[in-house]
Structure 1
Amino acid sequence: MRAGPAAVALMALATAATGDEWALVYTGESFRNLSGGLQEDSGYLGNLDATMEWRELSWFGDGGTAFIYVLGNHGDSPSEVIGDAQTYSNIDAPQALKLYELWYEQPFADGAASWKFGLIDLNSEFDVVEAAGLFQNSSFGIGPDFSQSGENGPSIFPTTSLGARLHWGFAGGVYGACILLDGVPGDPDNPRGTHIKLESDDGLLSTCEVGWEDKSDEGQISKLNLGLWRYSEPVARLDGSGDENNNGWYVAASHRLWHDWHSASALHGFVRLGFANDEVNAFARYRGAGLQWVGVLASDDSDALGIAIAQVENGSPFLRAAAADGVDLERTETAIELSYRFVVTEWLALQPSIQRIHQPGMDPNLDDATAISLRFELGLAGEP
């Protein structure tokens, strides 16, 4: 049975009273490719997030948390118009309604550590750069070096897998975390609905991250994180010479470069590098960086202006394999995004953005693309 976004909203609101905190957010995005790419065209896409959280549970000890997240997507794909490889919009996904996350988290060691088990979005805790969260290009979420991996991607938007995570915090803001996940989230042949299929040849995706974070009452000041990931099930090399394990690593840093002590205005900068085994992956390297100015016009932190650049690079084995098939490709694709988000009311935010994409899809036959979008967020949240 299939249901639309309205049905999800009714489901969330009908059950909200049983949770400690609930939220319902609909994100809509109207876009137009002005020039270049595959074709000049426009469209619309939408994303619905319905979440509920129960806190201070005592199922396995004090302080447990349970969480459920229903996800709905619909509409057009900007990347099908632009032809880009990095995915223009981070809410671009096949039309579907699904249970996205369902997990239980339990703290231990006097709150210094916690474990989590269930359907988990890897990118909710790993490979996260808070200062990059403003931007709409998917590469500013999880890097394309990592998101390309696996038979059906890692356990990220829009399909998650069953897994277990351990997190440990140390003195001075140092932390370490590891997660084990089913290596093939959902059903690669069916993007609709929620599918938990634990096949013997799926293998496991393991990811570990260590980092340091400095926070104040005003939010994050600095963060440095390093992550490594690996699939246990070998995959075929691009040159057809056998099998090899799929693995990679990433490193990111962000820092509050300037802060107005008389207001919430602040300037944040970030940089991220990612690397993947180019014997089995198309993308070998990724480089991204950007600036975000919070509190541009508003006296609080309710608006933000940012500019960022994301560049993904094809590996030499992939380029050789493509050339052998008669396909000539460029080595890199570069996206530059300028975006401004502001809160209109407590339930509405608007965000116009423009992106310039150099060598979309690494296709030498495509002109550089310029695309614009206007995103809006409608949100409701509450507690009993």
Structure 2
Amino acid sequence: MRGEVPVRLTTTQMTMAGFIAGILTSSAALADGGKPLDGLRGAIEPSGLSIEAEYTGEWVSAHQGAADGKSFFLDNVNVLVNWDLEKAFGLKGTTLYMNVLGNSGDRPNDRIGTLEGVSNLEVADGRFKVYEFAVEQAFGDNTSVSFGYIDLNAHFYATDASGLLVGPPYGIGTELAATGSNGPSIFPSTSLALVGKFKPTENSYLRVGVFGARAHNWGDPGSSNNFNEGSLVIAEAGLTSRGLLALGGWRYTDKVAAYRPTGPAASIQPWGIYGLVEQPLIESETGPSVTGFVRAGVSDGDTSDFTGSFSAGFLVDRALPGRPNSQFSLGVRHAYVSDQFKDTARSNGDTPKSGESGVEVTVADQLTSSISLQGSLHYAPNPGAVKSAEDALISSVRLTVAF
């Protein structure tokens, strides 16, 4: 029945509403403008330890398309621990960091049917895991090396101005996200990696990373050998004198089967290049400030369903009058599909398009030092890049509690 919400969703919503209400009404720390863990942070700070914890709950509702009338709930828990080993043990420039990640809830895109997804919280299988665990060694102010389980997207193919948008393609290009047997080392699973960062000048940087080609964290099913399918090598160079201008490239060391519609299948090393532009458009100390972004990438096009992707948009800080922490963002996206995808669609009786597009608008505000609220609206014409699919219209609401 249209508009019917599963009992499980209603129960979850009631539980979350009670949880948030309890925090808002009973926590003296929140009433005083602090966070519940501020006392613990103060106690452990002399030892070089710092801790941040955050819970995000999201309600996704479909208003048009394959999932019309359906609602979904999903959530995310992050616990970040940093340990300054110089302060603790005198190890100059050494930091140990860990990110514990927990996800649960529904999988809305299974019903909505977009290629690129509508929520960057959605996972195939929810569980708690040690998502990142690495040590970073700094050599002076301009050079550092990190080793361990590392999120590739924390260092490569990222723009700050697109970070408020909740659609996955605004975090990392779809043509890279779709590679690897279990994806590259990005949410929700990372791999062992070595990442080096170097700043030749104050306004430039070079980053190089070698990641296990098979993402797998402790707690994930299957083989834990991140390098049993080779490595993913990636490099990015950028200028930061005003905003960001960057160029990056990546390549897998092992060959995989390639799809060639005009000839026999071959084996090649998947590869891609990408570019990032992020520039301030309106600058203000007190009123709205606007930053624009453009992100684009291409790949070999023979080893996945995508040949490239493009996204662009802008972020407005201090978007609402009298709300200094409010933000507004708009993003447009397009993923170009490969010949392999098109031929598969035709064999299933569909008429494929050249790719999938989408538009997202979102507004967020920090209500207290610990509570923030964000609402988003997504529109995706012909989701799944097939002409027969009805246009999708989706809204989402996120409530985030920082501890």
User: How far apart are the structure 1 equivalents of 2:90 and 2:249?
Assistant: 30
More strand by share: 1
Q: How does 1:209-224 map to 2 (within 5 A)?
A: 209-214=236-241, 221-224=242-245
Query: Are residue 225 (structure 1) and residue 225 (structure 2) matched?
Result: no
Q: Which amino acid in 1 is paired with 2:58?
A: E
- Residues 251 and 271, structure 2, Cα contact 8 Å, conserved in 1: yes
**What is the aligned counterpart of 2:121 among 88, 91, 102?**
91
* Equivalent-residue separation in structure 2 for 1:364 and 1:135 (angstroms): 26
- The match for 2:358 among 316, 322, 335 is 335
Tell me, yes or no, if the aligned pair for 2:48 and 2:85 is still in contact at 8 Å: no
CA contact (8 A) 2:216 2:226 kept: no
Which sections of structure 2, spanning at least 5 residues, go unmatched?
A: 1-15, 20-35
How far 1:328 sits from its partner (Å)?
3.5
In 2, Cα distance between equivalents of 1:122 and 1:96: 20
Cα distance per residue 1:154-195 (max 9 Å; x no partner): 0000000001011001214110010001110117xxx95487
- Secondary structure, counterpart of 1:26 in structure 2: strand
String of CA shifts for 1:90-146, please: whole Å, max 9, x gaps: 1111211101000000011x2210000000000011111100001000000011111
Q: Which residue of 2 aligns with 1:217?
A: none
Deviation at 1:260, TM superposition (A): 1.9
Q: Aligned equivalents of 1:154 and 1:195: distance in 2?
A: 16
Matched, 1:100 2:131: yes
- Equivalents in 1 of 2:147, 2:119: separation in Å? 29
Q: 1:69 aligns with which of 70, 80, 99?
A: 99
Residue type matched to 1:224 in 2? L
Q: CA deviation at 1:254?
A: 0.6
Unaligned stretches of 5+ residues in structure 1: 7-11, 215-220
> Residue 35 of structure 1 corresponds to which residue in structure 2?
64
Q: Do residues 156 (structure 1) and 180 (structure 2) align?
A: no
- 1:81 offset after TM fit, Å? 2.1
In structure 2, C-alpha distance between the alignment counterparts of 1:142 and 1:19, rounded to whole Å: 32
Q: How many pairs does the alignment contain? A: 360
Equivalent residue number for residue 232 of structure 2: 205
Deviation of the 1:375 alpha carbon: 0.5
Letter in structure 2 aligned against 1:33: A
Aligned residue in 1 for 2:280:
256
Q: Report the counterpart of residue 355 of structure 1 in structure 2.
A: 378
Q: 1:133 aligns with which of 139, 159, 163?
A: 163
> Max radius of gyration: which structure?
2
SS in 2 for 1:131: helix
User: Paired residue for 1:267, among 283, 286, 290?
Assistant: 290
**Secondary structure of residue in 1 paired with 2:110:** helix
Work out the CA distance in 2 between the residues paired with 1:354 and 1:192: 34
Using the TM superposition, give the Cα deviation of residue 363 of structure 1 relative to its aligned residue in structure 2, in angstroms: 2.6
1:63, CA displacement in angstroms?
A: 1.6
The residue matched to 2:384 in structure 1 has which SS? Answer: helix
Structure 2 Cα separation of the partners of residues 321 and 338 of structure 1: 32
1:134–1:353 distance in 2 versus 1, CA, 3 Å:
same
- Letter of the 1:232 partner, please give it: T
Contact 1:99–1:193 under 8 Å retained in 2: no
Check conservation: 1:201, 1:233, Cα contact below 8 A.
Answer: no
| 1:218 corresponding residue in structure 2 | none
1:9 corresponds in structure 2 to: none
- Distance in 2, Cα, partners of 1:325 & 1:60: 63
Change (3 A) 1:327 1:297: closer
1:371 offset after TM fit, Å?
A: 0.4
The answer as to whether partners of 1:186 and 1:197 remain within 8 angstroms in 2 is yes
Q: CA distance change for structure 1 residues 321 and 373 in 2, over 3 Å: closer, same or farther?
A: closer
Q: In the alignment, does 2:265 pair up with 1:238?
A: no
Is contact 2:350-2:388 (8 Å) kept?
Answer: no
**Equivalent residue for 1:81?**
111
Q: TM-score under structure 2 normalisation? A: 0.84
2:61 aligns to what SS in structure 1?
A: strand
> Separation in 2 of the partners of 1:84 and 1:350?
25
Do 1:265 and 1:299's aligned partners in 2 also have CA atoms closer than 8 Å? no
2:401 equivalent among 356, 378, 381: 378
CA distance in 1, matches of 2:324, 2:199: 28
Question: Which is worse superposed, 325-334 or 144-153?
Answer: 325-334
TM-score by length of 1: 0.87
- Paired residue type of 1:210: A
**1:7-18 alignment to 2 at 5 Å?**
17=44
Farther off after superposition, 322-331 or 348-357: 322-331
SS at match of 1:126: coil
- TM-aligned CA distance change 1:27 to 1:202, over 3 Å: same
* 2:153 corresponding residue in structure 1: 123
Partner SS for 2:69: coil
The CA distance in 2 between the partners of 1:104 and 1:147, in whole Å, is 25
Larger deviation: 140-149 or 60-69? 60-69
Taking the aligned partners of 2:168 and 2:176, their CA distance within structure 1 comes to 12
- Secondary structure of the residue aligned to 1:179 is strand
Partner Cα distance (2:305, 2:159) in 1: 24
From 290, 298, 301, the equivalent of 1:278 is: 301
